[in-house]
Amino acid sequence: MPYACIMSVPNQISCVDCGGIASLISFLPPDTTIEPGTALAYRCADCNERFDVVFEAEDLD
Ligand SMILES: [Zn+2]
C-alpha cells in the first residue's frame, strides 16, 4: 500500500479565508506516516482560523 512520509506534508499552507500563512499545529511523531484521508490541523497566524486539511493521494506525490 503506497504511503508518503511526513516530509511530503507542507508545514504551512495559504489561509483560505484571508490569504495569510496557516501553520501546521497537529502533533506528529517523527515516525508518523501520512496516508490518504489523513486530516491535519493548521492555524492561520493572521485571522487565527483553524483548518483541518484532509490529504488525498494526489497531494502526497
Ligand atoms: Zn487567515
Distance CA 34, CA 43 (A): 19
**pLDDT string in tens for the chain (61-residue length):** 455 454 567 889 999 999 999 999 988 777 777 788 888 999 999 999 999 999 887 776 5
Neighbours of 25 (CB within 10 A): 11
Count of domains observed in the chain: 1
Model pTM? 0.73
- Per the CB < 8 A criterion, the answer to whether 40 and 9 are in contact is yes
- How remote is the CA of residue 48 from the centroid of ligand 1, in Å? 6
- How remote is the CA of residue 47 from the centroid of ligand 1, in Å? 4
- How remote is the CA of residue 21 from the centroid of ligand 1, in Å? 7
Q: Could you tell me the residue range of the domain that residue 41 belongs to?
A: 4-60
Give the 3-state DSSP-derived string for 41-60, with helices as H, strands as E and coil as C. Answer: EEEECCCCCEEEEECCHHHH
